[in-house]
Structure 1
Amino acid sequence: MNLGEIKAVVFDIDGTLYRSQEYERHLYLMIVKTISWFTGLDIQQAAERLRQEKYKHRTVSRSVEAMGIDRRMFFDKLAEHVEPGKYIAKNPEAIAVLNTLRRRGYKIALHTNSGRKLAEKVLEAIGIGDNCYDVLITSDEAEPKPSQEGYLLCAAKLNVKPSEALYVGDRPEVELKPAKEMGMKTALINSQSSAAFIDHNLRTLEDLLNILADRRMHT
């Protein structure tokens, strides 16, 4: 597949730029406690309600909205209690890949369903500063995935067409399918899929450097 027209790379954050089972457990517990705080349900009831809603809506963002909780208020409250730095180690590979892509002339966006405050805490834990990317889009600015609103906002902020962007994520249906439907190229990381909407399967983030040429050689 010709990737010569690609000018920008959009990365999901959670599960893509880092992986931590310890943090996932901590985050899940804090999500349940935050749902309990908003709804008045006890912890077991909140966990069961989350399970039911995620079965229908697939994402935490959509699930809490289905419970009648404002997602921005939810993520602001969640960010007060979540401590990514205790569980997520710095990721030199992610930092190096982002910096290399920028040196090669690519624009970089980060796109997450989390709120901005929580996303910034996670990025700080990974070691990714705002000098590593051009745009950060969270559920504070756009409807959460799989809505295409955030994808379109990434493209607009980067001043590229969707067809000029490659989306990198770890959830095929929630993240990559909507990206493909709007014309982006797609790359799945940390799992394998032969689905028609997956253009590339990546074993590591560094694999991106093998499929994306140095744009400076073509300008």
Structure 2
Amino acid sequence: MLRKFKAVFLDVDGTLYRSREYEEHLLQSAVAVIAEMLGLARPEAFKRLMEVKEKVKTVSRSVEVLGLERGRFYDRLADVADVKKYIHPSAAVVGLLRNLRRKGVVIGLHTNSGRKLAGKVLECLGVDRQCYDFIVTSDDAEPKPDPSGYMLLLEKAGVNASDALYVGDRCDVELAPAKKLGMYTAAVYTDKCDYADYFLKSLSEIENFT
């Protein structure tokens, strides 16, 4: 019998939706913002971002290493990125989240993006405030893999780590920190992760744990 969880925490980008085109667009938009804020040509901005990201793993960390204020970067990125062109409503995601909440499961969303950009993504997906209890962004806590965001998820949900399932698509950046704090973890869209307790072929399988 599968374990039942009181809370489910979900990564947003790469988990609630999959879009290679948007990922590429977002990267190019990030490069444009970095170039603008540092006064660089885009090729140089891209080179610097990739060099730093190779070491620190995430764009959120990279922009700080490059000397930019994370909040200002994400606010500007939210203005530049054409989210509506790539992210579209998902009845499946909306239905899943609402079903989980009807069962009494606490739903928390977790993203390294700022609140403004995350809001645009969720709006395009059709995910409104009836679909989740709260969201933790890089405006609220240090970005993944820092544990502060995960601890805030648990605090807001009011549950013990062992009663929470964290769902994400990135092993080292997302699932490893959750696992180290005592949460159960589920990897989605991948079958390789040493920190995953479960492997999901689709998000709909989450209902089996509630």
> When the two structures are superposed, what TM-score results if normalisation uses the length of structure 2?
0.97
> Which one-letter code corresponds to 1:10 in the other structure?
F
Name the aligned partner's letter for residue 106 of structure 2: K
Q: SS in structure 2 opposite 1:131?
A: coil
What are the superposed Cα offsets for residues 3-44 of structure 1, whole Å, 9 maximum, x if unpaired? Answer: 23x210000000000011221121111100000011111100
Tell me the equivalent position of 2:161: 162
1:198 aligns with 2:205: no
Distance 1:116 1:154 in 2: 15
Inter-partner Cα distance in structure 2 for 1:83 and 1:39: 22
Q: What are structure 2's unaligned runs of at least 5 residues?
A: none
Q: Structure 1 stretch 34-43 or stretch 20-29: which is displaced more?
A: 20-29
**Match of 1:183, SS?**
coil
Where do 5+ consecutive residues of structure 1 fail to align?
A: 214-219
Counterpart AA for 1:136? I
For 1:68-83, list aligned pairs within 5 A: 68-83=67-82
SS, match of residue 96 in structure 1: helix
Q: CA deviation at 1:61?
A: 0.3
Percent identity, aligned pairs only, is 48
Superposed CA RMSD: 1.1
Aligned runs of 1:1-219 on 2, under 5 Å?
3-4=3-4, 6-195=5-194, 197-210=195-208, 212-213=209-210
Q: Which moved more, 1:138-147 or 1:153-162?
A: 153-162
2 CA distance for matches of 1:194 and 1:18?
Answer: 20
Aligned equivalents of 2:15, 2:90: Cα separation in 1: 11
What one-letter code is carried by the residue in structure 2 that aligns with 1:207? Answer: E
SS of 1:11's equivalent?
strand
What secondary structure is seen at the aligned counterpart in 1 of 2:30? helix
Letter in 2 for 1:149: S
Counterpart secondary structure, 2:166 = strand
Between the aligned partners of 1:119 and 1:144, the Cα distance in structure 2 is 13
Residue identity in the other structure for 1:147: D
TM-score for the superposition, normalised by structure 1: 0.93
Partner-residue secondary structure (3-state), 2:130: helix
Count of equivalent residues? 210
Cα distance between partner residues in 2 of 1:194 and 1:26: 27
Aligned to 1:217: none
